[in-house]
């Protein structure tokens, strides 16, 4: 009931604001729609700001937004063709790939590449129509560190962490950019979305794991994984998606593991020319939130969010008939841009609690 009341109040504010491009609320925040390129205009003055019901983070990312859409996606199988899949597998595994065998399975949408030279195995790859699983055998570099230093970083949060990896100075953003470049080049032409690093765990001995989001025109899709929760299932949340990629790197810069969930396939997109700015979204929350809790936000992002109706566990999914699985993958999901205010967990960098403001309608959604 409270959520519907919040939505009605927010909707009334939007209608009022549309009558004048100069209108503002009592807090002095702009309530007019802006072009998507102005989404973060004035965001600097919001950092660390205190309000009655919430506090904004001391810093957060303000990426340049050039285009925005309402996206319709599904997770249907796509046959990339054996030539494209072979090239990807061989690009990933590198030297020695000739020791493998390439086989086609199923209805020509699944491909596997396995290496059976037990004296010096290289790795294995599979593509099954809507997901990739790529593994590379690697030899760890012995850095002599008994307890390597650990860095845990939210990428794109406005804070760039200095790190030392195998004796070389670097930063969290540099490592994230390296991962994104490699993945974009490896998967070029394989799907409609790019990949953005969200969470980075790096160790001074070179071991790195990264949780990545699929993204369109630089704007990521929010999922449980990319919301830093590391939890599976929907846990009662209103809006989320289940699209992400997880990668692991060894100390010799080998990507020893790349695993994607079901890959979103673009069915349709509708261009959005004007949206609610971050300043306006904060103004809506300032006027609308009537919960008993006072929130401290750890991060703020503009992300694509979609309502996921599937509540099956991985175990129950495995028990479904093949036809039922395909019917599920053909179901269309609509992803809409939303301002995501992540709620601080004092015990962890992870959080799956989030308050969202629809960047077009102003609807307030409490994913708590």
Q: At what angle do helices 82-93 and 172-186 cross, to 10 degrees?
A: 150
With 60 as the cut, is the pLDDT of residue 106 above it? no
pLDDT per residue as tens digits for the range 304-333: 998 766 545 555 555 666 667 778 788 899
Q: What value does the mean pLDDT take over residues 44-60?
A: 96
Give the contacts of 7 (CB within 8 A, at least 6 positions apart): 363, 364
With 70 as the cut, is the pLDDT of residue 14 above it? no
Full-model pTM: 0.86
Give the contacts of 206 (CB within 8 A, at least 6 positions apart): 141, 143, 165, 166, 249, 250, 251, 252, 253
89 confidence band (pLDDT: 50, 70, 90): confident
Map the chain to HEC letters: CHHHHHHHHHHHHHHHHCCCCCCECCCCCECCEEEHHHCCCCHHHHCCCECCCEECCCCCCCCCCCCEEEEEEECCCCCCCHHHHHHHHHHHHCCCHHHEEEEEECCCCEEEEEECCCCCCCEEEEEECCCEEEEECCCCCCCCCCCCCEEEEECCCCCCCEEEECCEEEEHHHHHHHHHHHHHHHCCCCCCCEEEEEEEEEECCCCEEEEEEEEECCEEECECCCCCCCCCCCCCCCCCECCCEEEEECCCCCEEEEEECCCCEEEEEEEECEEECHHHHHHHHHHHCCCCCCEEEEEEEEEEEECCCCCCCHHHHHCCCHHHHHHHHHCCEEEEEEEEEEECECCECCCCCEEEEECCCCCEEEEC
**Domain layout of the chain by residue ranges:** 2-73+270-367, 75-267
277 confidence band (pLDDT: 50, 70, 90): very high
pLDDT per residue as tens digits for the range 173-203: 999 999 999 999 999 999 999 999 999 999 9
Mean pLDDT of the chain: 82
Report whether 351 contacts 231 (CB < 8 A). no
Integer Cα distance of 358 and 64 in angstroms:
19
Q: What value does the mean pLDDT take over residues 268-297?
A: 94
Provide the pLDDT for residue 31. 54
pLDDT per residue as tens digits for the range 131-182: 999 998 877 777 888 899 999 999 999 999 999 999 999 999 999 999 999 9
- Which residue's entry shows tokens 């010799």? 252
Burial class (CB in 10 A: 0-12, 13-18, 19+), 329: middle
Q: Which residues, listed in sequence order, are joined to residue 133 by a DSSP beta bridge?
A: 126, 259
350 confidence band (pLDDT: 50, 70, 90): confident
Provide the pLDDT for residue 144. 83
Query: Which of 104-108, 328-332, 346-350 is the most confident on average?
Result: 328-332
Give the contacts of 346 (CB within 8 A, at least 6 positions apart): none
Task: Locate 191 and state its tokens.
Answer: 């799907």
């Amino acid at each position: 009931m409270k959520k519907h009341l919040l939505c009605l109040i927010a909707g009334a504010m939007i209608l009022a604001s549309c009558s004048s491009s100069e209108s503002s609320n009592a807090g002095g925040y702009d309530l007019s729609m802006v072009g998507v390129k102005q989404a973060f205009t004035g965001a600097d003055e919001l950092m660390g700001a205190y309000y009655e019901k919430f506090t904004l983070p001391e810093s957060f990312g303000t990426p340049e937004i050039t285009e925005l859409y309402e996206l319709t996606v599904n997770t249907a199988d796509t046959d990339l063709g054996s030539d494209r899949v072979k090239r990807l597998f061989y690009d990933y595994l590198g030297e020695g790939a000739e020791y493998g065998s390439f086989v086609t399975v199923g209805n020509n949408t699944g491909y596997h590449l396995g290496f059976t030279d037990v004296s010096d195995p290289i790795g294995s790859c599979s593509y099954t129509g809507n997901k990739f699983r790529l593994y590379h055998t690697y030899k760890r570099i012995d850095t002599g560190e008994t307890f390597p230093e650990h860095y845990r970083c939210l990428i794109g949060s406005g804070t760039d962490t200095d790190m030392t990896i195998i004796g070389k100075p670097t930063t969290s953003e540099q490592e994230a950019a390296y991962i994104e470049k490699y993945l974009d080049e490896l998967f070029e032409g394989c799907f409609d979305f790019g990949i953005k690093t969200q969470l980075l765990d790096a160790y001074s001995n070179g071991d790195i794991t990264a949780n990545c989001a699929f993204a369109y025109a630089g704007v990521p899709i929010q999922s449980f994984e990319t919301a830093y929760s590391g939890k599976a299932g929907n846990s009662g949340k209103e809006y989320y998606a289940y699209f992400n990629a997880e990668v692991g790197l060894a100390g010799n810069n080998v990507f020893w593991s790349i695993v994607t969930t079901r890959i979103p396939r673009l069915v349709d997109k509708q261009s959005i020319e004007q949206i609610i700015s971050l300043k306006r979204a904060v103004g809506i929350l300032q006027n609308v939130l009537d919960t008993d809790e006072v929130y401290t936000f750890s991060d703020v992002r503009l992300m694509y969010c979609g309502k996921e109706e599937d509540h099956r566990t991985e175990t129950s999914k495995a028990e479904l008939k093949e036809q039922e699985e395909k019917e599920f993958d053909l179901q269309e999901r609509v992803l809409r841009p939303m301002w995501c205010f992540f709620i601080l967990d004092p015990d962890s960098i992870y959080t799956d609690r989030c308050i969202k403001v629809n960047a077009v309608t102003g609807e307030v959604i409490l994913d708590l």
